[in-house]
Amino acid sequence: MAAEPGASFVLTTQWLNSGNTKAAILNCDPTDGSTHADPQAACDALKSVNADFDALPDTSRPCPYNYDPVVVTAKGDWYGDYVFFTREYSNQCVAIVSSNDVFGY
C-alpha cells in the first residue's frame, strides 16, 4: 500500500469565456497518484514558499497579450494545514508563469 502524501491538492483552471474546466491532482511526499505534468517541480516550488501560493515566484517567461481570463483554484492539505487559493488571471499562460508552473498541468 502506498504511503499517504504529506500534502495533496486539487488544482483547477476554469476559462471564464467558455466555462471549460480542467483539473489535476498534486500529491507531495510522495508524488504517487499525481496527475500533474511535473509533480516534483510543483511540490518543490510550493515547499520553497510553505504553500503560500501568493509568494510563488514568477518564472518571467513572456505570455501573449490575448484576453481569455481563467480562474485557478488550489484546495487541499499541506502537511496538516488546510489551504485554499483562488485567483483570476488574464489568460492561462499568465496563470502558469505567475505560479512558478504549479498551475501548468
Q: Give the mean pLDDT of 69-90.
A: 98
Q: What is the tens place of the pLDDT at every residue in 26-70?
A: 999 999 999 999 999 999 999 999 999 999 999 989 999 999 999
Is 74 within a domain? yes
Share of the chain above pLDDT 90, in %: 93
Confidence of residue 5 (pLDDT cuts 50, 70, 90): confident
Is 70 within a domain? yes
Please report the sign of the dihedral spanned by the C-alpha atoms of residue 5, residue 37, residue 58, residue 14.
negative
Is 105 within a domain? no
Distance of CA 39 to the CA centre of its chain: 10
Confidence of residue 97 (pLDDT cuts 50, 70, 90): very high
- What is the domain extent for residue 27? 7-98
CATH of the domain at 25: 3.30.350.10
Maximum pairwise Cα distance, the chain: 47
Mean pLDDT of the chain: 96
85 beta partners: 74
The pTM of this model reads: 0.92
**Residue 18, number of CB atoms within 10 A of its CB:** 8
In sequence order, the 6+-apart residues with CB closer than 8 A to the CB of 24 are 10, 11, 34, 35, 36, 37, 105
